[in-house]
Amino acid sequence: MNIQFLSSMDPNTMSNISMIAMLVIMFAVMYFLLYRPQKKQQKKDAEMRNSLEIGDEVTTIGGIVGRVIALKEDTFVLETGSDRTKIRFRRAAVQAVTKLDMETPAQK
């Protein structure tokens, strides 16, 4: 902007312009610090849930750990415990997935 133009402006107008600029900057900071990371995390979680495969070890949001034995569109069946209890969950209940490598033998 031209310096003469800025110096000829009313102080109240300058105050309004600086207030609007501060609001724009504040919203930009909020977007980059809060909204974008949250969207990235949601995308990562959805990708993890959609990549479930039979044989994966899963931890649910309730803390139940087991192995996936069946998959449907929105649900999966988890086998857990030494008595091989089967429980059906929604995919949204997955907190963590551990992909098991079936090609390498288990070490003792």
Residues 43 and 75 both lie in one domain: no
Torsion sign, CA atoms 39, 40, 41, 46: positive
pLDDT digits (tens, 9 = 90+) for 56-94: 999 999 999 999 999 999 999 999 989 999 999 999 999
CA–CA separation, 2 and 18 (whole Å): 16
pLDDT at 5: 59
81 and 60 within one domain: yes
Domain count, the chain: 2
pTM over 0.95: no
Range of the domain at 82: 53-98
Structural Rg of the chain based on CA atoms = 26
Helices (H), 3-108: 3-7, 11-30, 36-50
